[in-house]
Structure 1
Amino acid sequence: MNKGLSAVSALLCIAFILTGCRDQLTPEERLKEYVGHWNKGDFDAMYSGFLNKETKEIFGEKGFVERQEKLQTDLGIENIKVTYTKPEKDKEWDTEEPASFPIQVKMDTSAGPVTFEKTMKLVHETHDEKENWFVEWDTSFIFPELGEKDKIRISTLPPARGEILDRNGLPIAINGKGYEIGIEPGKFTDDAKKAELIMLLETTEKYIDDQLSQSWVKPDQFVPIAKVAKTDMPLLEKLDDIPGVLRRETPMREYPYGEALSHLTGFIGVITAEQLEKRKEDGYTESDFIGRQGLERLLEDRLRGEEGIRIYIDKAEEGAEAITVAERPVVDGETISLTIDAELQNETYQAMRGEAGTSAAVDPNTGETLALVSSPGFNPSEFMLGISGDRYKELEENPLKPLFNRFTATYAPGSTIKPITATIGLEAGTLNPTKGITIKGKTWQKDASWGDYRVTRVHDEAPNPIDLNKALVYSDNIYFAQQALDMGRETFVEGMKRFGLGEEIPFSYGMKSSQISNKGTIESLGQLADTSFGQGQMLTNILHLASMYEVFLTDGVMYKPTLFLEEEDAQVWKEGLISAENAALIQKSLRNVVVDGFAQAANLPSIPLAGKTGTAELKATSEEKGQENGFFVTYNSENNAFILAMMIEGVEDNDGSAYVAELVSNVFAPSEE
């Protein structure tokens, strides 16, 4: 035989033998491949290439592949990690006997982690004329206690939404009770009363008829129609008068202070499509309630809590107890306490008499926000339960704008800024508080270069010479304009910046920032004059305005306003704004404003209030008279527990800022109203 041919034949023989050896994988090599597919969740490959004949006959592709794929989705299974204990080196395998391997399974589920160990066997079989090792499988490799006929189930326990309390533990937004309104068909027979019910619940005849025509309805059964807050007593009383209309208690979010705290608390409601799109990955569904406005929305992640989830095996044997596979306990939402004094907030809101405006109260010793009011408010429960389009339109078109949150907005502060202007001049050394200035007439201008622009004062009867005290008591615009010109634009702007104008308010609730002007600069001497008494382009937030007055009671410190009791008290925002000596001068004059000036409506016999009024004139069109917003910022000069700032819109026909001083006085002494 040719030697070359013999060599080739030998090589081919060796290659054939090696190929045969590669087809005959060891049990460990087969298990390794199987585990690799398992870790990837590739159940198709596991079924088609690795299961033994008996397993396939018992479970079929549906029982193996589809079931496990569905379980992965339903149970939130991810991060599967399957390992096995390797056999000793050079282990010899008997094809007549099963090959056994300890395996370890770890996975995460929506109810928490699951781990278990089992023994997996591989048997040597011939499939499609090829011999190999194949896996013996049963349902216990899904979960150890799972039998072939058992069911895997999942149950959820919704968390209680966290509650919002005031500083004294009084409820602001809580999980309380309301009423489900229903009809007992056998007693609801009066068509006139049906029309009345439709009007009261703002629904339709078709909706009522559809509810009553459901297949399960019987004459003596309660048929739910609507839900009503338990605070809506006028509506409930009218509903009680309709024969066949009943009510029963049902769990419901409650807002005990209603309109008074509405803009701050906001409300919950069924999740919107837009919110669902953003929060889908957080487990929300289209039927969930979510914070829709105010603190309910701002604190959603803290208030929501975490639902409890239990994955368990429902055993097929009668009377057998269910077996828990994994369980995540329910975590209720947080209870959050505010710095707000709900009673003070309510008294302030009531004192505003439904007028359009805003108020803020701060503790000058800590910076805590005690009240944050926007008036008029709205009924949060009305929105929570689902407001009708007509009702929403009615609120939206209301000229008092009850849906507009005024405490987040900014307004020209008018003369309430004059004590701040005085502070800047005193600290800069350009304002001598005892030096009098002779001012004649109602108007004044620096010189002819000002053209038609003149500064106007309201009280030209103020006796000359005008010093700082008289300027504050008579709220003299000309005095403060001249003082601002004496200190100059740079000193004035820098001084206002030191009070925080032009920067973001360090507050937990979104607020519009106060400003010196649109550009943050003063472009002309005329603008400087206007800005010195809170006009021009100056705008302040009501909370910021109240905080600025802290410096007169703290010898120059202004604290960061806080909203949550968990926040640290007395965090310094600004300091060194006024000396103790100059602060005492301003305090004395602010008391004189109430005693001798134009805030005498707040001159209570037993409560020595001190403060400053202000009127801001809004630009008018040629056809309309300009609107005036009235302000009053005040505190009890003997017990400075809080500073209260209030603004009322449109006071031009209602005694101006003196009217606001009267309203504020009722907060300090409601019984003396």
Structure 2
Amino acid sequence: MTLQNNTKKKSRKKMGLALGVAAAVGLGAGCWFLFLRQTPQDFVQAYMDCIEARDYEKMYEMLDADSQERIDQESFLTRNQNIYEGIEVEDLKLEFKKKDGDKKWIKYTATMNTVAGELTFDNQMYVHREGLGLKLQWEDTSIFPELHSTDKVQVSSSEFQRGGIYDREGKTLAGQGIVSSVGLVPGKMSVDPTQREEDIQKMADLLEISAESIENSLDASWVKDDSFVPVKKIEKNHTVENTLLGENFDSELVKQLVEIPGVMVTDAEDRVYPLGEVASHLTGYVQSVTAEDLEERKGKGYDANSVLGKSGLESLYEDELRGTDGCKISIVDQDGQERTVLAKKETENGLDITTTIDSELQEMLYRQFENDKSCSVAMNPFTGEILALVSTPSYDSNDFVLGMSQSVWDSLNEDEDQPMYNRFRQTWAPGSTFKPMTAAIGLSTGRLAADENLGYSGTSWQKDSSWGSYHVTTLHDYGEDVTLRNALVYSDNIYFAKAALKIGADTLEEQLKKIGFGQELPFPISVTSSQYSNEEHISTEVQLADSGYGQGQMLVNPIHLASIYTAFLNEGDMLKPKLLQEENPQGEVWISDAFTEEAVQTVAEDLKDVVNSPEGTGYGLHLEGVELAGKTGTAEIKDTVEDTSGTELGWMAVYTTDPDTEKPLLLLTMVQDVKERGGSGYVVDNLRPVLESYLLGQEYTKPSQDEPE
């Protein structure tokens, strides 16, 4: 109150001076008149507008003489800038209250957005005339009513935990885990410069990083002799499997590292992928954000320390997996004790994602084909749940999170087998696995009859001489009973070339579009759309004939192909593939009546014979106790029709027929480069141990890790 009275006395003297000056220059000086007419509310508004404008010098100029005597400009600028920019003030609004009492006290409610959310408080400022205009009697309470001169405004944050990714049984596919942080304590390093340099180089070699990066870490401004300076994170005990099992022993790498003076290895938290390369194409990985990432996600809570899903499920479900950091703005006294909480935003952890994936099946399929270029899709054919998505060879997501060495990065990029290439997202020539679709289309449209004999042609055929030297060839001569059942069991290319010609290009194209060709697959992971031609239409008879047995320019995505196969188990309806677990999963129809019920019943019976009849090409997967059906396939990959040096893709589509089977399964696998390795028979042989383990409960033994011949 004394401060106010003194100010009033000084104000009267200064006001008299101001009025005298105004009289001297005349009332016609409009600018002075307007200046004198500024209301105290306008003055306070102008002062607060300077906060968002970051014009702290202008704010200081608006202080009265007494205030400027108590706080110098540099201290004022520093205090206000640190507070307002520290809490990231934006969109500051004032609501002035009705005047009561001393009219020089301007009361208002301030609302602003801050790093901790919206902050609202009531406050007041003492505004009076001094000299030619209004001035503010400033105190620390002008910032916040509870703020004292010895107090500080403190911003504290709590990090959210990124949601985990789990399989159908709750096993971790991606989540927070314990890793080993390798670092240096400068005060414990060798004092001999030459030895120190040698130790750093040895550490760099063991961690596969540069010695320069270690030196840069040690040169950071915060580093002291007793500081722990992190250099690199590695898998705990050098294996992620041990991380989750909780085993506690030192790897050979750690033993060598801790022999170096000053090196320490401690536990740290980080994102881990327990299945490693087994599921990396599915899970993807996270990495630190780049400047481009921050620009793209401006205003979404990312900062320089954030991580971001870069591929796979980590990228697909980034918004769900990412949470929101908690933040609190508080006033603390000179001893660091919290006095008042101004604003608080609670921490919101990311959501967990539970998938339909079966980790054991995923791993078995990976182990069977890890030395091949392959992909596998496993699905419950009655619910559409995806049980496994495998691409081989693969990479290890953990390498991207913990820091990939240049040698590992080079090996991934220079490997001709392309371990970074996700094969289950691509399209491939389906070969004979597409013959059931040709059959179902022919039967559904009435262009083909199951018992119709299309004529014996041996193992080589062409429609007429207009085809030139081109002939359709097939492997098996099974006699003159050239009907649909035998054509599927013996995988007769000639039969299905003839069937395609009977169906006709227009009808075939129409039906292929109906079952999803050229459409986007309704699946969370984006995949390449299936096609039947490189151009708009099937343009020649030869192309049409080749399309009938899955060659020509036919390219199909494996997940799409698996979805088409579900029609043989769901009365002609194609099911939508699902990746997220549901409480009571039910099949969701993607395309209804893809084929007629009569057509799928006929084809489905024939596909049983493919696997269960001794003459069937899929008989190698015949199991006692579980009825299976399916179709083998071998697709030639060559540059021209005349090319004889091309390679081959081997396929197998196999499924359980009984909906009451304990573990319903539709499994589709493609392997590249099976020429001279048995064609589709190579795939059949490798799938048998997987099916025996998954369906019959037999113990699964991982195959030899030797390269395939």
Q: TM-score, normalised by structure 1?
A: 0.88
User: Do structure 1's residue 255 and structure 2's residue 267 form an aligned pair?
Assistant: no
Contact 2:424 2:557 (8 Å CA) reproduced: yes
Measure, in 1, the Cα distance between the counterparts of 2:218 and 2:123: 57
Match of 2:645 in 1: 625
Match of 1:227 in 2: 233
Q: TM-score, normalised by structure 2?
A: 0.83
1:493-551 CA-to-partner distances (Å, cap 9, x unmatched) read 11111110111111111111111111241111111001111111110111111111000
Contact 2:505 2:544 (8 Å CA) reproduced: yes
Contact 1:304 1:332 (8 Å CA) reproduced: yes
Match of 2:626 in 1: 607
Match of 2:83 in 1: 71
Unaligned runs of 5+ in 1: 1-12
Contact 2:47 2:59 (8 Å CA) reproduced: no
Amino acid aligned to 1:380: S
Contact 2:99 2:107 (8 Å CA) reproduced: no
Q: 1:35 pairs with 45, 53, 63, which one?
A: 45
Measure, in 2, the Cα distance between the counterparts of 1:320 and 1:643: 63
Measure, in 2, the Cα distance between the counterparts of 1:122 and 1:300: 51
After superposition, the CA RMSD in angstroms is 3.4
User: Do structure 1's residue 505 and structure 2's residue 521 form an aligned pair?
Assistant: yes
Measure, in 2, the Cα distance between the counterparts of 1:570 and 1:262: 27
Amino acid aligned to 1:492: L
Amino acid aligned to 1:264: L
Match of 2:353 in 1: 336
Seen in structure 2, the aligned counterparts of structure 1 residues 153 and 257 have a Cα distance that, compared at 3 Å, is same
Measure, in 2, the Cα distance between the counterparts of 1:21 and 1:78: 32
Match of 1:113 in 2: 118
User: Do structure 1's residue 159 and structure 2's residue 156 form an aligned pair?
Assistant: no
1:167-190 CA-to-partner distances (Å, cap 9, x unmatched) read 221111010111223578689999
Contact 1:37 1:45 (8 Å CA) reproduced: no
Seen in structure 2, the aligned counterparts of structure 1 residues 187 and 657 have a Cα distance that, compared at 3 Å, is farther
1:247-301 CA-to-partner distances (Å, cap 9, x unmatched) read 4322121111111110011111222343234335434333432222221122222
- Range with greater deviation from structure 2 (303-312 or 36-45): 36-45
What does 1:167-186 align with in structure 2 at a 5 Å threshold? 167-181=168-182
Match of 2:68 in 1: 56
2:338 is paired with a residue of what secondary structure? coil
Q: 1:544 pairs with 536, 560, 565, which one?
A: 560
Measure, in 1, the Cα distance between the counterparts of 2:628 and 2:416: 33
How many Å apart are 1:195 and its aligned residue? 8.0
How many Å apart are 1:664 and its aligned residue? 2.0
1:219-250 CA-to-partner distances (Å, cap 9, x unmatched) read xx977543221373499622254362664322
Seen in structure 2, the aligned counterparts of structure 1 residues 328 and 641 have a Cα distance that, compared at 3 Å, is same
What does 1:309-388 align with in structure 2 at a 5 Å threshold? 309-316=327-334, 318=335, 321-388=338-405
Measure, in 1, the Cα distance between the counterparts of 2:196 and 2:36: 85
Report the number of matched residues. Answer: 647
Match of 1:9 in 2: none
Measure, in 2, the Cα distance between the counterparts of 1:561 and 1:24: 72
User: Do structure 1's residue 515 and structure 2's residue 531 form an aligned pair?
Assistant: yes
Measure, in 1, the Cα distance between the counterparts of 2:333 and 2:450: 89
1:540 is paired with a residue of what secondary structure? coil
User: Do structure 1's residue 305 and structure 2's residue 323 form an aligned pair?
Assistant: yes
Match of 2:434 in 1: 417
Measure, in 2, the Cα distance between the counterparts of 1:297 and 1:643: 27
Seen in structure 2, the aligned counterparts of structure 1 residues 107 and 191 have a Cα distance that, compared at 3 Å, is closer
Match of 2:127 in 1: 122
Measure, in 2, the Cα distance between the counterparts of 1:123 and 1:440: 108
Q: 1:527 pairs with 543, 547, 568, which one?
A: 543
Q: 2:259 pairs with 241, 244, 264, which one?
A: 244
Contact 1:39 1:82 (8 Å CA) reproduced: no
Match of 1:393 in 2: 410
- Range with greater deviation from structure 2 (241-250 or 600-609): 241-250
1:38 is paired with a residue of what secondary structure? helix
2:280 is paired with a residue of what secondary structure? helix
Amino acid aligned to 2:172: P
1:390-421 CA-to-partner distances (Å, cap 9, x unmatched) read 22111222232211111111100000000000
1:466 is paired with a residue of what secondary structure? coil
- Range with greater deviation from structure 2 (227-236 or 328-337): 227-236
User: Do structure 1's residue 635 and structure 2's residue 655 form an aligned pair?
Assistant: yes
Match of 2:294 in 1: 276
Match of 1:663 in 2: 686
Contact 1:71 1:77 (8 Å CA) reproduced: no
Contact 2:377 2:389 (8 Å CA) reproduced: yes
Seen in structure 2, the aligned counterparts of structure 1 residues 33 and 186 have a Cα distance that, compared at 3 Å, is closer
Match of 2:8 in 1: none
Seen in structure 2, the aligned counterparts of structure 1 residues 628 and 334 have a Cα distance that, compared at 3 Å, is same
Seen in structure 2, the aligned counterparts of structure 1 residues 33 and 99 have a Cα distance that, compared at 3 Å, is closer
How many Å apart are 1:311 and its aligned residue? 1.2
Amino acid aligned to 2:158: L
Measure, in 1, the Cα distance between the counterparts of 2:45 and 2:231: 56
Measure, in 2, the Cα distance between the counterparts of 1:354 and 1:647: 13
Unaligned runs of 5+ in 2: 1-22, 241-248, 701-709
Match of 1:7 in 2: none
Match of 2:672 in 1: 649
Contact 1:27 1:122 (8 Å CA) reproduced: no
Measure, in 1, the Cα distance between the counterparts of 2:384 and 2:604: 19
Measure, in 1, the Cα distance between the counterparts of 2:648 and 2:288: 40
Measure, in 2, the Cα distance between the counterparts of 1:191 and 1:109: 47
How many Å apart are 1:451 and its aligned residue? 1.5
Contact 1:217 1:223 (8 Å CA) reproduced: no
User: Do structure 1's residue 101 and structure 2's residue 75 form an aligned pair?
Assistant: no
Measure, in 2, the Cα distance between the counterparts of 1:111 and 1:448: 80
Seen in structure 2, the aligned counterparts of structure 1 residues 471 and 138 have a Cα distance that, compared at 3 Å, is same
How many Å apart are 1:20 and its aligned residue? 10
How many Å apart are 1:205 and its aligned residue? 5.6
Percent of residue pairs bearing the same amino acid type: 35
Measure, in 2, the Cα distance between the counterparts of 1:406 and 1:192: 44
1:82 is paired with a residue of what secondary structure? strand
2:567 is paired with a residue of what secondary structure? helix
How many Å apart are 1:571 and its aligned residue? 2.7
Q: 1:434 pairs with 451, 471, 474, which one?
A: 451
User: Do structure 1's residue 564 and structure 2's residue 584 form an aligned pair?
Assistant: no
Amino acid aligned to 1:51: L
1:424 is paired with a residue of what secondary structure? helix
Measure, in 2, the Cα distance between the counterparts of 1:615 and 1:302: 41
Seen in structure 2, the aligned counterparts of structure 1 residues 18 and 201 have a Cα distance that, compared at 3 Å, is closer
Seen in structure 2, the aligned counterparts of structure 1 residues 211 and 80 have a Cα distance that, compared at 3 Å, is closer
How many Å apart are 1:31 and its aligned residue? 2.7
